[in-house]
Amino acid sequence: MSLNTLLHYCDIVVFRAGTAMASEAAKTYLNFLWWIIDPMLTMAVFYLLFAVVLQRGTEDFVFFLIVGLVVWQWFGNTVGSAAPSIQQSASLISQVSFPKVLLPLTVILTNTYKFLFVSGILLIVLWLSGFPPSASYLALLPLVLLQLLLIYGASTAVASLVPLIPDIQHIVSNVLRAMMFLSGIFYPLSAVPPGLQQAFLLNPMLSIIEAYRQVLIHQAWPDFENLQYAIGVTLILAVLATLLTRSLDKRFARLVVQR
> Domain limits of the chain?
3-258
Calpha distance 43→236 (Å, rounded): 32
Q: Give the dihedral of Cα atoms 157, 189, 37, 31; nearest 10 deg.
A: -20
The three-state secondary structure class of 30 is: coil
Range with the largest mean pLDDT of 26-40, 86-100, 149-163? 149-163
The sign of the torsion formed by the CA atoms of 179, 170, 75, 60 equals negative
In 3-state terms, what secondary structure has residue 184?
Answer: coil
- Cα(171)–Cα(152) distance, rounded to whole angstroms? 18
Lowest mean pLDDT among 25-29, 60-64, 82-86, 161-165: 25-29
Per-residue pLDDT at 94 = 64
Q: Distance of CA 218 to CAs 129, 134, 172, 201, Å?
A: 13, 9, 33, 21
The alpha carbon of residue 238 and the mean position of all alpha carbons in its chain are separated, in whole angstroms, by: 14
- DSSP-derived secondary structure letter, 167: T
CA atoms within 13 A on the CB side of 106: 21
- pLDDT mean over 182-188: 85
Worst-scoring range by mean pLDDT, 40-44, 187-191, 209-213, 237-241?
40-44
- pLDDT (mean) for 54-76: 82
Is residue 6 very low, low, confident or very high in pLDDT (cuts 50, 70, 90)? low
* C-alpha pair distances (Å), 100 with each of 78, 103, 164, 239: 17, 6, 14, 16
Q: What is the percent of the chain with per-residue pLDDT over 70, rounded to a whole number?
A: 81
Q: Are 118 and 33 in contact (CB under 8 A)?
A: no
Q: 170 falls in which pLDDT band (50, 70, 90)? A: confident
Averaged confidence pLDDT in the chain: 83
Cα R_g (the chain), whole angstroms: 19
Whether pLDDT at 3 is above 60: no
pLDDT of residue 28: 64
Question: Mapping DSSP to helix (H, G, I), strand (E, B) and coil, where does residue 85 land?
Answer: coil
Would you state the pLDDT for residue 1?
A: 52
Confidence of residue 205 (pLDDT cuts 50, 70, 90): very high
The three-point CA angle 214-189-241 to 5° equals: 80
Q: 246 to each of 28, 160, 167, 168, how far by Cα in Å?
A: 37, 9, 22, 19
Q: Using the predicted structure, report yes or no on whether residue 242 has a pLDDT greater than 70.
A: yes
**Tens-digit pLDDT profile for residues 124-144:** 889 988 889 999 999 999 999
Kindly tell me if the per-residue pLDDT of 164 is higher than 70: yes
Residues 6+ apart with CB under 8 A from 110: 17, 20, 21
